[in-house]
Structure 1
Amino acid sequence: MSFRNLLTDDRGAVRRITVNRPDKLNALNRETLVELDVAFAQAAADDAVRAIVLTGAGSKAFVAGADIAELAELSPVQARDFSRLGQQMMWRIEHLGKPVIAQIGGFALGGGLELAMCCHLRVAGDTARFGLPEISLGLLPGFGGTQRLLRLAGRSATLELCLTGAQIDAARAQTLGVVTRVVAADALEAETMRLAEQLAASAPHALRAILDTVIVGGETPLDAGLDFESMAFGVVSSTQDMREGTRAFLERRKPVFSGS
């Protein structure tokens, strides 16, 4: 499928997906949400893709929010469905089974921050800005922002950012757990790709098991999470990559994981 609002390219086993609406600061309209859902479904189905980098075109914004011009014309029912569309797409990313890194330069506001938070890792340039300003529109975050920020940063910070609409810098975002890593803005792409290539060289079954175990365990009592972890550990121990990894360790060489 060709996309009107996205660019995709593969660099080895890393797929880069770029929201390409720089004239709109990469704002998320309905068409872009649908295209993102398709693009991530394709990445999930392609065995040659082992890690994904999600970013925005241009230097001003990762994604500056939802498309306000489109949003302003929605009926209440249409707004509910728009919210659910965004939530569904971001749920797909979170549960993709392959590591997804958000490469964040410039603004990540509203739907942009929500999009970043559903990714597994978030690397930000030191000049990036973050916020959930929906309150200024008489709204609340609708793509999962209240729930994912609550889980990442806690109740106090979530209430502060949602109630005031305040923007924060990359350093505070990292302190709150919203950002995984902060790097110099001019090194953002190189550092993100270095991380993505490291993940892409890892054992795919183990990566998926880690993602599934952390996501499931975060929503269950400890005993259920521990049980899920043990079962995942057993399953991954049956893979050829586990044999390769342990053999390489004993032979004091670098493992080569095949995904089998």
Structure 2
Amino acid sequence: MAARSLFKLVSTSSNKLIIQNSLLNNVKFYSVNAANYEFIKVEKKGANNNVGLITLNRPKALNALCNQLMTEVGQAVEAFDKDKDVGAVIITGSEKAFAAGADIKEMENNSYAQCVSGGFLDHWNKLTKAFKPIIAAVNGYALGGGCELAMMCDIIYAGEKARFGQPEILIGTIPGAGGTQRLPRYVGKSKAMEIVLTGNQITAIEAEKMGLVSKVFPVETVVEEAIKLGEKIASNSHLINGICKESVNAAYETTLNQGLKFEKKAFYGTFATQDRKEGMSAFIEKRKANFKNE
């Protein structure tokens, strides 16, 4: 058994990761600098350091999403998800490119058998399993895998020069990380068909009109605005945020009747939390709620 399989990431606090030895069931602390990541930068933002910021950092390749980069993104999201101080996570890139796509050179020689047996791109979905809300702050190109990565997030803020698209059809393949599945849920069948069958790019304004993007900002302020949004979200109960996120996501997986039942049960469930009690008490007493995430 490889050494790395003996350890599991448990949580993070500032620049320290807590790593658990799954065989000995001991918890050890290791100081980990963000520089240990090869293709991303990780830091905490906001007045209370309660917003996790992940910056894709592969500039020479326009942040092309190679296997190692996406592995690191998954690890960073998992760490922030388990950090009790963090209430929201942001993923961004550079002003030139959020991510210009998957790494074509890395996948060019793959065979069908290799893709199937190796579960090619399966680990990308690790991002979607996060309990806490994730915001994509998109500048520049968000094409192919980059667009798919943005759609895996819960909210998309875009810079006014951002461009989205699924150009896989132009290189003889189709989207493989959710492009044909998530895009229709955002923009509808007709628009999604046009985008994936032509490979055409759409602007940030077009993306906002279609419902793909929540808001559009000047290039230089989009990350700042995403941090403000993250701070607002993080000021709520982290526990209730996660329950609410899960309920919204259920709308895409169920019928209306099933979704309403899911929502009702989730709503009832909040009455078992201390944060629901604190929130309502604070409202009645006309004071700010002091959530404990319990």
Distance 1:117 1:81, change over 3 A: farther
C-alpha separation between the residues in 1 aligned to 2:166 and 2:160?
19
Q: What does residue 89 of structure 2 align with?
A: 52
| Residue correspondence of structure 1 range 92-171 to structure 2 within 5 A | 92-171=126-205
Q: Does 1:179 align with 2:216?
A: no
State the alpha-carbon separation in 1 of the partners of residues 210 and 127 from structure 2: 22
Deviation string for 1:166-199 (max 9, x for gaps)? Answer: 0010011011111111111121121111101001
Answer whether contact 2:100 2:146 (CA < 8 A) is retained. yes
Query: Unaligned stretches of 5+ in structure 1?
Result: none
**For each residue in 1:93-141, what CA deviation from the matched residue of structure 2 results, as whole angstroms up to 9, or x when unmatched?**
2231100000001110000000000100000001101110111111110
Read off the aligned partner of 1:168 and give its amino acid letter. I
The one-letter amino acid paired with 2:76 is A
The structure where helix makes up a greater share of residues is: 1
TM-score by length of 1: 0.94
| Cα deviation, residue 81, structure 1 | 6.1
Partner of 2:111: 75
Give yes or no for contact 1:203–1:257 (8 Å, CA) kept in 2: yes
The question of whether the paired residues in 1 share the 8 Å contact of 2:151 and 2:182 is answered with: yes
Report the count of equivalent residues.
Answer: 257
Change in 2 beyond 3 A, CA 1:105/1:154: same
- In 1, the alpha carbon distance for the partners of 2:139 and 2:176 equals 22
Q: Which residue is equivalent to 2:281?
A: 247
How large is the RMSD of aligned CA atoms in angstroms?
1.5
Q: 1:89 aligns with which of 83, 100, 124?
A: 124
Indicate conservation of the 8 Å contact 1:205/1:259, yes or no.
yes
Q: Is the 8 A contact 2:124 2:177 kept in 1?
A: no
The letter of the residue matching 1:208 is: G
Q: TM-score, normalised by structure 2?
A: 0.83
Q: Which runs of 5+ in 2 are unaligned?
A: 1-31
Q: What is the deviation of 1:36?
A: 1.7
Equivalent residue letter for 1:107: Y
Specify which of 18, 27, 43 is matched with residue 64 of structure 2. Answer: 27
Name the residue aligned to 1:18: 55
What are the Cα deviations for residues 204-244 of structure 1, in whole angstroms up to 9, with x where unaligned? 12111111111123211222211111111111122111122
Question: What is the distance in 2 between the residues matched to 1:109 and 1:74?
Answer: 21
Whole-angstrom CA distance in 2 between matches of 1:81 and 1:54? 30
2:241 is the alignment partner of 1:207: yes
Quote the offset at 1:80 in angstroms. Answer: 4.4
